[in-house]
Structure 1
């Protein structure tokens, strides 16, 4: 059980670290008034988060059924989302609710959209290649049934 929570924690911290790096690049790399650069860095952050989750879904989907790794992924994304929205702005000296309710909820929806697309792409690629847990189980079952010796009939 501790291995499961360790994997969830490591993934949540990794997703949060991507956000922190993006916030620090935006704060120290560009002027405070340059919203175009901040938007590009945010877009890059969402792409990186989506790619990380696509890779994790691909790897975890090979080893375990969807119900097992899906819950772990949802927990990691939820923890990372809370850290990103509530703690991330504090690290760069901003108020999490400083931009208003619209900005606060827009961050949540964009984060959930990026993570959802990433997980979906990773799992769809895994399924299309036939490497997911279910496809491999069905393949093993078919091979087992095909190699079973014929039953001898007495006459």
Structure 2
């Protein structure tokens, strides 16, 4: 069971690390420039979406959607909490300093980027016919088609 949660924990830490890097770049590279900070945030959300698309593509090949979907939701939830509550503290900001609107906007944008990333990764996997369900159906069809010849009694 620990093997299953190791991948989830690594994904959560990787998503949080992307956020920390974006916050540090914004803090030390573009301090006070809101336009650059917005671009760095947009880039961060794109990287998060791409990471989740790649993970959905890889995990979707090996396991059914119900198994990896729950793991991915847990990883995104933990990474979201770390991003919203711990991330601002790392650069000396207050998580609620921008007000409720900024706080909840960050949550919705994170969830939107995560949802789009997972959806794109899984749709690409399904379109290529490489997902777990398609492969199971392919193996079943091959097994049924290769039935041994029936012996005829006389």
Query: What's the TM-score bracket when you normalise by the shorter of the two chains?
Result: over 0.9
Unaligned runs of 5+ in 1: none
How far 1:151 moved relative to its partner? 1.7
The whole-number CA distance in structure 1 between the counterparts of 2:33 and 2:54 is 35
The whole-number CA distance in structure 2 between the counterparts of 1:94 and 1:20 is 13
Deviations 1:15-49 (A, max 9, x none): 00000000000000013143x10000000000000
Query: What secondary structure is seen at the aligned counterpart in 1 of 2:77?
Result: helix
Q: TM-score, length-normalised on structure 2?
A: 0.98
- The equivalent of 2:99 in structure 1 is 100
Q: How many residues align?
A: 154
How far 1:12 moved relative to its partner? 0.2
Runs (4+) of structure 1 moved beyond 2 Å? 152-155
How far 1:150 moved relative to its partner? 2.4
How far 1:77 moved relative to its partner? 0.2
Describe how 1:81-96 pairs up with structure 2 within 5 A.
81-96=80-95
The RMSD of aligned alpha carbons is 0.8
Deviations 1:70-118 (A, max 9, x none): 0000000000000000000000000000011000000000000000000
